[in-house]
Structures are given as structure tokens and as C-alpha cells.
Structure 1
Amino acid sequence: MNLQSLHIQDESVPVHPDHDPRHPLVIFGDHRFCAGAQLEVQKMAGPHMHSQIELNFVLSGRMTYWFDGRALTVDENRLCLFWGMIPHQVIDRAEGTRFVCLYVPMSVFLGFASLSRFRDAVFRGAVIEALDIRPWDREVFLRWRDELLSGDPEVMEIVRSELTARVMRIEREGWRDLREQGAAIPTSGQRDADWVLHVENMLRFIGEGALSDISAEDVGRAAGLHPNYAMTLFRKAVGMTINQAIIRHRLDTAQSLLIATDLPITEVAYESGFGSLSTFYEAFQRRFKEKPVQYRRRMRPALAATG
């Protein structure tokens, strides 16, 4: 990546046991659509982070990531994506392994209101592997790489549209989280049970409305369910309450705004859907174990004075 980088050493970020302490964690300060210039995969001296969603299409061989405490392997002709703000590092690869590495700005994922389940998995730290690989994916990813590296604004805008559509197809055509080997997420065509449709309607409503003043009762009514039944069904299917899902969505947005913008903390709170600054601080510290300004200072040293 031809990016300007910021080096920090932070004991709160998990470090691979073989990590050389002479190589501090690197945070890349870039928020664009872009492509890695290098095709051959190399082992990395240490973990790094960046604000974009990273897509890897393995052209040949296999590569192993250390990803937030786990070793995950991606094989030839496979496509995976993950949020770059989860510390990650290539710790092994077969000799001569080649891949296409593309970077999608977080703003694109923030616009995926209708894909809230998929998006939430990414922001929870999932490593998403596409279940459906098309015969032309290899050629298309190589072309996208060349066009992004060309710097031609008009061509890059076309790639933006095409790559965004490809990400949306991953959600539609089926995916799994590599952290849970073998746990495939069913494709859209299999989602025909009434309760699944109800849950998806509730997730969609949360994704589209969490930044406004909505309640658990509003979510249930939007799915045509009695609020008590809706809350029971949602918790059983998603593993959290409706209110927890609303707060998580708001915190995901706040986290993104803290990393990718220089908005004051007060504006971050209200733009993320929190009705008061105190509620925002309480929720943020409960999840991230630090204040928003400390989080921003750690993740974006260049913005240490902001907020």
C-alpha cells in the first residue's frame, strides 16, 4: 500500500506471540478506494491496521493471517473480506502465493442499511469468506486492481460501483465467518422461514433507523409483531436484545466517525443516534473500555487534539 502511515505501540492491542517488538503496530491513514500494488504475498514483520474494508482474492497458493488472536487460512481461488481496524498480519504463505488486495472505504459499508446483518458481522470482527466464486472473478479482480492503480478518476468511479455491487452479492449469495470454520450463513434463497423473515425485517428496520429515535417496540411493530414476541424472537435468533442491537449499530457508527472524521465528540454522539452525551459516553466506555477521545487518540494519533 502506498499510504502515509502512523506508527504506534499500544499494549491494549493484541500482539502476535512471534511479533518483533522492534516493529510497532502500524495504522495506515487512508480512507480511499485503492489497490495493493504487490501481487506476491509476503510475510509481515508485525500487525497493522487501516480504516478501510480489505478484500483479498487469492490467485494462487494459500496465505495465513493472524487476525485478532486467531490464525486463519485463505486458499487459492477464494475471496475474503474484513475490517482493517482489526489488527491483522500475514504470518505464513505457500511459496509464490499471489493475491489481489483491494480496499473499500468504510463509508460504503455505512451506506449498506439493507445489509445490516452482514455489515454488523464485519464490524464485530468477522473474516467473511464468499461461498460463491464466479469463473470470471479472477479476471475481474485483476482488472479492478489495474484500474485503481491507474489513477484515472472516471475509471475509478466505475470500479467503485462494480466493487460495491460485488460486495453486496457476497451477502446475497452466501458467506461464512472464517473464525467459525464450517459455520456457513445461509443464502437468500434458503431464508424462507417466517421467523427468519421477521428477524430480517427487524434487522433492516434497525439498520435504517438506529440513528434516529427508535425503540424496541417500534422495531417489533415494523415487523408486524407484538413487541414482547418480537423481543423474544430477536434475542433467540441474533443473540442480543433489540435495544442492544440498536446501541451496537449506533456505536459502530460512532466508531467509524471517530476513526474516519474529525467531528467533535458531541457531534459524533448525536450523528450516531444518541439522545444525550452522557448516554453515549456510558455506552461507548462499556463496550470499548475507554473514553471516545482516548479511542480516537489511540486509533488516529493525527487527531489527538480533536474533540
Structure 2
Amino acid sequence: MSKRAANVNHLGATPAHPEHDPSHPLVVFGDHQFCAGNLMDVRRMSGPHMHSQIELNFVLRGRMDYWFDGRQLTIDENRLCLFWGMIPHQVIDRAEGTQFVCLYIPMSVLLGFPSLSRFRNAVFRGAVIEAMVMQSWESEVFQRWRNELLSGDAELMEIVRSELTARVMRIEREGWRDLREQGDAIASLGQRDADWVVHVEKMLRFIGEGALDNISVEDVGKAAGLHPNYAMTLFRKAVGMTINQAIIRHRLDTAQSLLIATDLPITEVAYESGFGSLSTFYEAFQRRFKEKPVQYRRRLRPA
């Protein structure tokens, strides 16, 4: 939702994860740290939500079914998946007794390594990445990482940051698949100024927290301290889409969550999602989802 209705947290040094406000149908978190979910028992969620980190799910036992950006996906026992939390997602079902480890890493991890360009592009375009190579001891390692991130021990947390970053890089090296059968590649950025990652992260964060207001490409570039033309070039090469496309995508992600999780009239959904006019909303929504908002709501929320 927009700043009028969204829950955007700025939590300082305290790691943030979606369980901080489980009652809210759409949660957008402004925290960008490594952190872990408190709960291990998988629970059905009342509606889709969103958050700013990359989310990793390792299923210890059982099976969980996600609604993810309009599709239903299943993650089985001893499988590892990751996705960008800004794509609306919801646990809609699970086998009795299912448990998982849920970890969150900042988007800067994916932005910081040129070798991850194809992987990064897939994630930011809405892929659900599944690791193809798993080891027998991973269950113990993920539980240890969770416990150490929750411990508050600064030295242990720093070790986990390094190990978890390495695990993500191994996913790219050892093989992965997109459960949504997407993941177009983009060219690698190559060697660039050391602070380009900071600029792109600032732009992504600004879009994630401000797309539902009346922001422009100039505003996004200014938030990162960049000239608009350079901001547009850098953003497209790093993320695989234009700044305007990213803004519209976030607004549409919000709109589909509101259509599913609330009973707001379509007009209110449009304006709460950041669209300046109903006609612009209808045009953008039908271009992406190939149906009208009311049809989308009826299909996903049958009487």
C-alpha cells in the first residue's frame, strides 16, 4: 500500500523480518540486514505480503505451497529456494508438521558480484530460484545460521554473513533453476567504480519505499546522488529493467496483493497502489496480467 496504508519499518540496528507484523496483509520492510525468522513451524498466511530483503527458505521437513506473483509453487523437504521479497508471496498450504529455516539477506549481496549478473537479473525479475546441488549436512548448517543470526552475537553474525554470501554464490556456480521458468540473462556490469553497488541499492530501496507515491526517474536518481541519465543507465544494467518499469512493477505487485487480501474497491486499489489515474492503472494491469482487475480478483478469490 502507499505511505497512507503501508507498514514501512525503519528499525535501526534491530534485524527485521516479516513476522514483526503478521496481522498486516501487505508488509514492506525498510531494513536491509542479514536476519532470520523466529518461527520454524510453517503457517498459512492470511494474505500476500512483501519485504525488501532476499528471502531464503530451506525446508527441514514436510512440504510448503507458495502463492507467488500469481502462481502456485511447491517447495519440498531438503530443498533450498530464494526470491526477492518485494514480489508478493504467501504460504497458502503446507503438510502437517512442516518446518523450515527462513533467512533474509540484503539485496546488496546480489549487487556486489559481477559474476552473479544472470542470477541477479532472474531474481529481480521475479524468479523463484531453487538450488540444484544440495549436501546432506545443509540442514544442520541452516539451523546453525538461524540460531547465530538470532543470538545477537556480533562476531557470530559476521561469520554467518560471510558463509551465507558464499552459499548464494555456490548456487550460481553449481546450478539452479527458476521454478517459474523465467530468468533472462543480462550482460555483466564488469569492473566499475566500487560504489556503484551502493547507488543501485539506494535506488532499489527508494523505489521499494516510495513507488506508491508520485516519484519520478529524477527522484530515484537524486536519492542515489546521481544524474538522471546515469541513474537510468546504471539501473538498467544492474537490474535488467528501466527505473520506470521497476516503479510500475512495484505498483502492480501492490495492486495484486490488495485485490487478493482486501475488499477495497478497484478505484481505491488503483490509488493506494500509486497510480495517478484509473485508466493508467487498468492499462498497466491488463498489459501485465492479461485480464481486468475485477476478473483477477474473482479468479483468485472465488466465492
TM (norm. structure 1) is 0.62
Q: Which has the higher contact order (CA 8 A, sep 6+)?
A: 2
Quote the offset at 1:279 in angstroms.
11
Change (3 A) 1:66 1:261: closer
Asked if 2 retains the 8 angstrom alpha-carbon contact of 1:31 and 1:105, the reply is: yes
Which residue is equivalent to 2:248?
Answer: 289
Partner of 1:8: 6
SS at match of 2:64: strand
How much does 1:136 deviate? 1.1
Distance 2:193 2:110 in 1: 15
Counterpart of 1:203 in structure 2 is 187
Equivalenced residue count is: 224
Q: Is 2:130 the partner of 1:125?
A: no
Q: Percent identity?
A: 60
- 1:42: which partner in 2? 43
Distance 1:162 1:98 in 2: 22
Deviation by residue 1:58-107 (Cα, 9 ceiling, x = unmatched)? 00000011111110100000000000000111001001000000000112
Residues 156-180 of structure 1 deviation map (CA, whole Å, 9 limit, x = unaligned)? 0000000000000000000000112
Rounded Cα–Cα distance in structure 2 between residues aligned with 1:57 and 1:279: 33
What's 1:27 paired with? Answer: 28
2:164 alignment partner, SS class? helix
- The 2-side partners of 1:130 and 1:120 are apart by 16
Which blocks of at least 5 consecutive residues in structure 1 are unaligned?
1-5, 10-21, 186-199, 213-248, 301-307
Partner SS, residue 44 of structure 2: coil
Amino acid at match of 1:256: L
Alignment of structure 1 residues 1-307 onto 2, 5 Å: 8=6, 24-180=25-181, 203-204=187-188, 206-209=189-192, 255-259=203-207, 265-268=220-223, 271=226, 274-275=229-230, 283-286=242-245, 288-289=247-248
Task: Label 1:145 to 1:254 Cα distance change in 2 as closer, same or farther (>3 A).
Answer: closer
The Cα of 1:289 is off from its aligned counterpart by 3.5
* CA RMSD after TM alignment: 4.1
| Helix, strand or coil at the partner of 1:161 | helix
Q: How has the CA–CA distance of structure 1 residues 150 and 291 changed in structure 2, closer, same or farther, with 3 Å as cutoff?
A: closer
Partner secondary structure for residue 170 of structure 2 = helix
Q: Based on CA coordinates, which of the two structures has the bigger radius of gyration? A: 1
Rounded to whole Å, the distance in 2 between the matches of 1:46 and 1:105 is 24
Distance of aligned partners of 1:299 and 1:211 in 2 relative to their CA distance in 1, 3 Å threshold: farther
Deviation larger for 38-47 or 255-264:
255-264
Does the 8 Å contact 1:114/1:208 carry over to 2? no
Gaps of 5+ in 2: 8-22, 211-217, 236-241, 255-270, 275-303
Letter in 1 for 2:206: L
Query: Quick one: structure 1 residues 56 and 7, their matched pair in 2 at CA, closer, same or farther if it must change by over 3 Å?
Result: farther
How far does residue 264 in structure 1 lie from its aligned partner after superposition? Answer: 5.8
